[in-house]
Amino acid sequence: MALRPGPAYKFPWEDMGSFKYLLFVPFVATAALGLDDADNWAYHMLVIAAIRYVHAQFWISLSRIHAVTQHTKIQAKGIDYKQVDREDHWDDYIILQAIIMTLVHKMPYLGYNDFPQYNAMGMWQLLLLHAGPTEFIYYWLHRALHHHTLYSWYHSHHHASFVTEPITGSVHPFMEHIMYTANFAIPLVGTWAFGGASVAMFYAYLIGFDLLNNIGHCNFEFMPQWFMSIPGMKYLIYTPTYHSLHHSKVHVNFCLFMPIYDVAYGTNDPSSDELYRKAINGEAAPNKAPDVVFVAHGTELLSLFHLPFALRSFSSKPFKSVWWLQPFLPLCIPFVALLRIFGKPFTADRHRLLHLNTATWVTPAWGFQFFIKSEFNHINRQIERAILQADATGTKVIGLGALNKNEALNGGGQLFVDKHPNLRVRVVHGNTLTAAAILKKIPADVKEIFLTGSTSKLGRAIALYLSARGVRVVMYTTARDRFEKIRAEAKEEHRELLVQATTLEEGSGIKDWVVGKFCSARDQVKAPKHATFHQFVVPPLEESRRDCAYTDLPAFKLPKEAKDFRSCEMTMERGHVHACHAGALVHALEGWTCNEVGAIDHTKIDATWDAATKHGFALV
């Protein structure tokens, strides 16, 4: 939002939401029904629009792949949800320009039609008209937009993005885009006026323009030093670093793509060359090892599209397997197969929390693989690779997320600590805080609970914790030996409070069900009326009982000091993380030097909870 939005600030179709794409329907209908003109105008407008979308997605993905950007970043800061939302309508200019070009093309008596496929001389005309009139007019228009009135009305919307992404370059109010479109029409109309217009001209100019616009708004430097060292080149083409100074200092480096205009009129920032040198050599925002790493994994196949470098807007919202993603499911299968063969852990995103640099890494494994025993060794090798990499780079804490710490897989991380006893990085499953989160949702005055998944790592900790506080725990399990093993861990005076149940019917008189194992709608019927299902089962329960209450999976809202979060942690709401992720962060904030692997120490649950709340984590 601009500081003080002016006239014609909003696009006419802004309130249409996703229905704005219906504006392409006339083009589709014209081309599909054979109603196109001799230039196949509607067809070419659709193809150009499609290429522009694919091209933008390429740059979005490239700029968010940490392996690509880590060594030449310009600004160390990241972006947040507010910026993602503000830039969510970045593509409005594609619709606008398709409509305006079509209106000019259809204008009676003008003759802006009957284009040949290609005209070589026209391409040179196009280039010269851009480098001359368009660049000159843009420079002075841009400076005018920095006048306090126009800036507050329009251009402040664009400058709200201090750290830019490729598509930031097209995020402007409607009136500003009208100004730009009129200026950018000069090469297209001028080339036509000189007799050099062609169909290829539209492709070359519009896609070439997008290319340079995306390049300038990348937050990493990649223009080769040998290229920029060519005499005069730094005056003819800008770099990501050059334009980043305009966003950080505001009143310098106004040019569109050619810095010669800044040099000519005295607005070239003197530090441009030095910042370029630093960025291209990794000195502008040095790549530092994260203090805390949280290791996640894929869930269902379509979760691939929820990665931050996949679909920008989609990843900024809680994951849902939406209908429009289903056609892309076949594309996931070969990708998953390639990751199974060649994949290794990668950085999905980086964040900041107080003094900590944090990161989310992803092991190339999907949910179904954790239920195939023959995959266990492969998955553990990937987790081990992540742990050793974190250890080598000086990371203090590595947290194991979701099924990466499955008891049957690696004993809650114990396997890695036993295998590598000299690790400096602390391995944390985070389940102590998960247990605390579950327990805090159970009423403080509860006298009795019915516990499923009772012999799991979390089930065991919950049973021992509550029985030590005088709560009767009915543990649903058919494994007598596992029940007795847990019961033997309790103090003698508390053992009588741990009772085995071998059928779900034995919980029919207990109001609080703590569910750590899949419970179908049919099974839920066996709970009494007005029961509460406190769950720690993945996936969450189907809420089939309208007369009952269901708690959410254990999760925490991040402290207000958390920065640079731009994507949601799977199904979590914005600013929320799974309890085990919060557990790893708390471990680092507290400076604890122990590993948290294997069985949960139920005597530490209260201390872990207190530490989490002290640092501003709030249960959700």
pLDDT in tens, 36-45: 999 999 999 9
Which residue in the block uniquely carries the two structure tokens 């006419």? 12
Q: What pLDDT does residue 130 have?
A: 98
Closest C-alpha to 168, from 214, 201, 134: 214
618 membership: H or E segment, kind and range: strand 618-619
On whether the CB atoms of residues 353 and 616 are closer than 8 A, the answer is: no
In which band, very low, low, confident or very high, does the pLDDT at 527 lie, cut at 50, 70 and 90? Answer: very high
- Can you tell me the distance from the alpha carbon of 525 to that of 588, in angstroms, rounded to the nearest whole number? 43
CA distance 196 to 190: 9
Helix (H) and strand (E) counts for the chain?
27, 15
CA angle 224, 227, 229 (to 5 degrees): 110
Residue 599 neighbours by CB distance under 10 Å: 15
Cis ω for the linkage preceding 7 (within 30 of 0): no
How confident is the model at residue 538, as a pLDDT? 78
State the Cα–Cα distance between residues 332 and 343, nearest whole angstrom. Answer: 14
Yes or no: say if 385 and 414 are a contact pair by the CB < 8 Å rule.
Answer: no
How many other C-beta atoms can be found within 10 angstroms of the C-beta atom of residue 560? 9
pLDDT tens-digit profile of 448-482? 999 999 999 999 999 999 999 999 999 999 999 99
Name the one residue in this structure whose structure tokens are 């006026």: 193
pLDDT digits (tens, 9 = 90+) for 216-268: 999 999 999 999 999 999 999 999 999 999 999 999 999 999 999 999 999 99
Q: What percent of the chain has pLDDT over 90?
A: 98
Q: What pLDDT is stored for residue 514 in this prediction?
A: 97
What is the mean predicted confidence (pLDDT) over 198-226? 97
CA–CA separation, 12 and 15 (whole Å): 8
DSSP symbols for 478-532: S-HHHHHHHHHHS-GGGGGGEEEESSGGGGTT-SEEEE-S---HHHHTTSPTT-E
- Phi/psi of residue 448, each to 5°? -155, 140
pLDDT tier at 566, thresholds 50, 70, 90 = very high
Q: Order of strands, edge to edge, in the sheet holding 426-428? A: 426-428, 397-400, 292-297, 356-363, 346-353, 562-563
What is the C-alpha separation between 36 and 314, in angstroms, rounded? 35
pLDDT for 420 = 97
- The Cα–Cα gap between 511 and 548 comes to 9
Residue whose C-alpha is closest to residue 487's, from 478, 495, 479, 475: 495
Contact 306, 570 (CB under 8 A): yes
Q: For the residues 490-517, what does the mean pLDDT come to? A: 96
User: Cβ(272)–Cβ(241) under 8 Å?
Assistant: yes
Q: By the 8 A CB rule, do 558 and 376 touch?
A: no
Residues 74 and 219: beta-carbon distance below 8 Å: yes
Domains and CATH numbers, the chain: 14-280 (no CATH), 292-432+557-619 (no CATH), 442-550 (3.40.50.720)
DSSP structure string for 290-353: -SEEEEEE--SGGGGGGSTTT-HHHHTS-----GGGGGGHHHHHHHHHHHHHH---EEEEEEEE
Question: What is the DSSP code (8-state) at residue 568?
Answer: -
For residue 535, give the nearest of 521, 555, 554 by alpha carbon.
Answer: 554
Q: What is the pLDDT of residue 3?
A: 87
pLDDT in tens, 287-337: 999 999 999 999 999 999 999 999 999 999 999 999 999 999 998 999 989
pTM: 0.92
Per the DSSP assignment, residues forming a β-bridge with 532 are 512, 549
Task: For residue 577, give the H/E element and its range.
Answer: strand 576-578
Residues 6+ apart with CB under 8 A from 335: 304
Residue 453: the pLDDT is 94
Average pLDDT over residues 340-352: 95
As a whole number, mean pLDDT of residues 87-93 equals: 97
- Residue in 69, 64, 105, 57 with CA at minimum distance from that of residue 210: 57
Please check the confidence at residue 436 and state whether its pLDDT lies above 90.
yes
Q: What is the mean pLDDT of the chain?
A: 96
Whether residue 537 has pLDDT greater than 90:
no
| DSSP three-state, residue 211 | helix
Q: Would you state the pLDDT for residue 539?
A: 78
Query: Would you say how long the chain is, in residues?
Result: 620
271-293 mean pLDDT: 96
Q: What is the CA radius of gyration of the chain?
A: 29
Average pLDDT score over residue span 398-417: 95
Question: Is the CB of residue 370 less than 8 Å from the CB of residue 379?
Answer: yes
- Closest-CA residue to 212 (of 156, 160, 256): 256
